[in-house]
């Protein structure tokens, strides 16, 4: 591996990067160097850009292609056991991760370019230690086995409390080991990082658990929260002081916080439901009964949650929905419920409902990156290699080629052409013989959908 020396165009700090790196983040100010464009992006400008649009995961962007390639490379051991090379790739991978999946990292990470760069550096350091240190690797595996206890949707509160307590113990031991090996990376007590890691995992799985009182018990009995209030600052994520006050000033970012907490059962379900709204926009269903059905489906046990909690969830989840769409969706949905759940459901939907059109979510933003055919091809080839296709290669390759079209908004579909898809077919070695026959099958399956024009054009091209 060869290296290049750079000087940050924003703050002047020196930076060393791999010769094949695509995105290089300044460790001092967080400005980003785009190697292909040979220029630094100002940190403040990047913050504003990231705040107004999501990274285009399913788009022919350089970030998406680089992310796919780095992920593939990191599955292999570093050449010659070179941890320095692996650390550099991991740092770039985690930084690009914040661009491609901004909704999957803590808000504090994407609050500024400097925070992005710092988080990527810390994540890469942990990644290397976990790969190279058997003790840390074993502790991480122990923690992950304990976290798997959250995956049983039928677990009761006692079982989740026990699983959480075990996970916190194991996560704390892992952070003790990381603190010893990475001085300065984890300045707070290891128990804070252990609880925070486990709390994040549990909240992610919370919507899959039926008992709405599980989290309040865990918060008080395991996490030690006061009256169910979170231990972390909602602005910077730092640990709050252990004082029971109505308001508290965070010692890390100086923010003043009120000690009240959202109902985790409601919040987790609202978050899951809201994640489906891009699809509702794409299908022009946002104001229809389909949106109501989607919201209903995340409740689970209506009788266990109770009418007040369920009503609050629906009001927060879809306040813009027209009353007639709610009523029609309710007529379709109620018959699938058991009698006890149906009684609560009927009570909830019988309440007066006034839509608030001003709360209607905006459609997904149009990707700002220009479509890059070479980047799209590289990303698609990585996906093909990871899929390890052994049967029906024509339809398998086609499904990879058109996924970007299927998930894109109607007004922002990537300009993937039949010629580009054929280039992909040839690059990955899709056999020529069965192409025409299998594409006729594809037209029957995809012809009436968003990718219909592309599939028909491709079918016509392989017939020639």
Spatial CA neighbour of 211 closest among 146, 153, 168, 298: 153
Return d(Cα 415, Cα 369) in angstroms, integer. 12
Shared domain check, 403 and 344:
no
Domain hosting residue 320, numbered range: 273-353
Shared domain check, 332 and 438:
no
Average pLDDT over residues 310-326: 96
Percent of the chain with pLDDT over 70: 83
Q: Has residue 311 got a pLDDT over 90?
A: yes
Shared domain check, 10 and 67:
yes
Shared domain check, 343 and 403:
no
Residue 452's Cβ-count burial label (10 Å; 0-12, 13-18, 19+) is middle
Q: Has residue 285 got a pLDDT over 50?
A: yes
Shared domain check, 295 and 409:
no
Shared domain check, 347 and 301:
yes
Q: Has residue 34 got a pLDDT over 90?
A: no
In a domain, 76, yes or no: yes
Helix 323-333 vs helix 339-349: angle between axes, to the nearest 10 degrees? Answer: 170
Per-residue pLDDT tens for 188-233?
888 888 988 898 788 778 767 777 778 878 877 888 765 444 556 6
Per-residue pLDDT tens for 320-339?
999 999 999 999 999 999 99
Per-residue pLDDT at 229: 45
In a domain, 198, yes or no: no
Q: How confident is the model at residue 62 (pLDDT cuts 50, 70, 90)?
A: confident
In a domain, 90, yes or no: yes
Per-residue pLDDT at 230: 54
- Total domains, the chain: 3
Q: Has residue 79 got a pLDDT over 80?
A: no
In a domain, 186, yes or no: no
Shared domain check, 334 and 378:
no
Average pLDDT over residues 47-51: 55
Return d(Cα 100, Cα 92) in angstroms, integer. 12
Average pLDDT over residues 259-278: 76
Q: How confident is the model at residue 286 (pLDDT cuts 50, 70, 90)?
A: very high
- Among the candidates 132, 153, 181, a domain finishes at 132
Per-residue pLDDT at 228: 41
Please tell me the pTM assigned to this model. 0.64
Q: Which residues, other chains included, contact 141 with Cβ-Cβ below 8 Å and sequence gap of 6+? A: none
Per-residue pLDDT tens for 375-397?
889 889 988 998 888 889 999 99
Shared domain check, 378 and 349:
no
Shared domain check, 380 and 306:
no
Paired with 25 in beta bridges are 32
In a domain, 232, yes or no: no
In a domain, 65, yes or no: yes
In a domain, 181, yes or no: no
Per-residue pLDDT tens for 226-256?
544 455 665 555 666 655 454 566 766 666 6
- Among the candidates 132, 161, 182, a domain finishes at 132
Shared domain check, 449 and 348:
no
Return d(Cα 177, Cα 1) in angstroms, integer. 30
């Amino acid at each position: 591996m060869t290296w290049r020396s750079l000087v940050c165009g924003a703050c002047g700090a020196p930076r060393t990067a791999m010769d094949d790196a695509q995105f290089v983040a300044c460790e001092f100010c967080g400005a980003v160097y785009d190697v292909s464009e040979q220029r630094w992006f100002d940190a403040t400008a990047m913050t504003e850009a990231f705040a107004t649009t999501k990274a285009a995961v399913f788009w022919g962007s350089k970030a998406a292609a680089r992310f796919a390639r780095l992920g593939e490379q990191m599955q292999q051991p570093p050449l010659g056991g070179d941890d320095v090379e692996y650390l550099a790739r991991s740092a770039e991978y985690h930084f690009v991760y914040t661009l491609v999946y901004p909704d999957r990292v803590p808000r504090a990470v994407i609050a500024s370019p400097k925070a992005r760069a710092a988080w990527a550096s810390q994540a890469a350091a942990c990644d290397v230690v976990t790969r190279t240190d058997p003790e840390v690797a074993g502790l991480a595996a122990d923690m992950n086995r304990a976290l798997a206890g959250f995956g049983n949707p039928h677990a009761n509160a006692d079982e989740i409390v026990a699983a959480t307590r075990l996970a916190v113990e194991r996560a704390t031991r892992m952070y003790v080991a990381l603190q010893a090996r990475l001085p300065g990376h984890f300045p707070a007590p290891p128990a804070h990082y252990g609880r925070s890691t486990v709390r994040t995992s549990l909240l992610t799985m919370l919507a899959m658990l039926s008992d709405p009182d599980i989290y309040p018990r865990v918060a008080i009995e395991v996490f030690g929260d006061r009256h169910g209030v979170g231990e972390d600052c909602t602005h910077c994520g730092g640990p709050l002081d252990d004082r029971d006050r109505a308001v508290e000033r965070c010692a890390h970012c100086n923010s003043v916080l009120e000690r009240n907490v959202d109902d985790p059962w409601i919040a987790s379900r609202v978050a899951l439901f809201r994640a489906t709204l891009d699809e509702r926009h794409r299908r022009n269903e946002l104001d229809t009964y389909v949106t109501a059905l989607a919201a209903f489906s995340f409740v689970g046990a209506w009788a266990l949650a109770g009418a007040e909690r369920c009503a609050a969830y629906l009001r927060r989840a879809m306040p813009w929905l027209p009353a007639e769409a709610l009523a029609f969706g309710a007529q379709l949905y109620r018959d699938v419920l058991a009698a006890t759940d149906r009684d609560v459901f009927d009570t909830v939907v019988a309440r007066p409902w006034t839509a608030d059109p001003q709360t209607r979510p905006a459609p997904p933003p149009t990707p700002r990156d220009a479509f890059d055919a070479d980047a799209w091809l590289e990303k698609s080839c990585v996906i093909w290699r990871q899929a390890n296709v052994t049967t029906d290669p024509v339809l398998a390759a086609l499904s990879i080629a058109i996924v970007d079209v299927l998930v894109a908004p109607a007004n922002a579909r990537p300009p993937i052409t039949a010629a580009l898809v054929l280039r992909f077919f040839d690059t990955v070695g899709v056999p020529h013989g069965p192409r025409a026959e299998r594409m006729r099958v594809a037209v029957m399956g995809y012809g009436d959908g968003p990718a219909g024009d592309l599939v028909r054009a491709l079918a016509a091209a392989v017939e020639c």
